[in-house]
């Protein structure tokens, strides 16, 4: 197959992970395996709320178990820098219901 579905192309890139419990964690992808377990470096959580802007919580080096991962997105740094997170208001994402 020409195109790979693996996470190779995201390694050493900044990624945004949406977890099954509805959290959004951003960090540098350092490694992954077949079960989508991932290692994130210099990570932080972005906490969305309707009352105030997006809060950023520093997490540092993190391993996320694949079971708990929903979406892994490649963060476009230019786009990301153009967003004003202090003005963004949203409900936190719902947890994944199987």
List residues binding other proteins (CB under 8 A).
Answer: 1, 3-7, 10, 16, 18, 20, 22, 24, 36, 46, 48, 66-67, 69-77, 79-80, 83, 88, 90-91, 93-98
Q: Are 53 and 40 in contact (CB under 8 A)?
A: no
Map residue 25 onto helix, strand or coil: strand
- Chain centroid to CA 64: how far? 10
User: Which residue number, 28 or 75, has a Cβ lying nearer to other proteins?
Assistant: 75
For other proteins, the closer CB: 16 or 62: 16
CB of 87 to other proteins, least distance (A): 10
Q: How far apart are CA 26 and CA 16, in angstroms?
A: 4
């Amino acid at each position: 197959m020409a195109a790979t579905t693996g996470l190779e192309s995201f390694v050493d890139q900044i990624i945004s992970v949406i977890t099954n419990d509805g959290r959004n964690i951003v960090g540098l992808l350092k490694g992954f395996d077949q079960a989508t377990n991932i290692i994130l470096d210099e990570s932080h959580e972005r906490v969305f709320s309707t009352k105030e802007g997006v809060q950023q919580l520093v997490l540092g080096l993190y391993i996320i178990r694949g079971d708990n991962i929903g979406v892994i997105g490649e963060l476009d740094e230019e786009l990301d820098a153009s967003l004003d997170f202090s003005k963004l208001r949203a409900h936190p994402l719902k947890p994944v219901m199987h």
